[in-house]
Amino acid sequence: MGTAEITEQDRAKAKMCENCPICRRARAKQRGLAFWFVKNVERGICPSCRAYEKVHGRPAHAPVEEARS
């Protein structure tokens, strides 16, 4: 990733990716057309997916780990 500073604009774009229906489905299902699309195409063209990766340190298609109590 590098040592690039995370800006408020990056955080806003990452939030857009978190709420994106295609990216949410890819993270939840981990298979299918949405997963393939986010993994292979979105990452290169979508600024929100790139910001998500920068802010969270994982690709937009990676599953979200739930916090366990």
- Whether residue 69 lies inside any domain: the answer is no
Name the CA dihedral angle for 13, 14, 18, 21, rounded to a multiple of 10 degrees.
40
pLDDT at 3: 62
Q: Yes or no: say if 61 and 20 are a contact pair by the CB < 8 Å rule.
A: no
Q: How many domains does the chain have?
A: 1
Query: What gap in Å lies between CA 55 and CA 1, rounded to an integer?
Result: 10
Round to whole Å and give the CA distance between 22 and 5. 27
Predicted local confidence at residue 60, as pLDDT:
93
Q: Is residue 66 part of a domain?
A: no
Report the pLDDT value the prediction gives residue 66, as an integer from 0 to 100: 66
How far apart are the two ends of the chain, measured CA to CA in Å?
30
User: How confident is the model over 7-52, as pLDDT tens digits?
Assistant: 999 999 999 999 999 999 999 999 999 999 999 998 789 999 999 9
Asked whether residue 45 is domain-assigned, the answer is yes
Structural domain includes residue 62: no
Residue range(s) defining the domain that contains residue 46? 8-56
63 part of a folded domain:
no
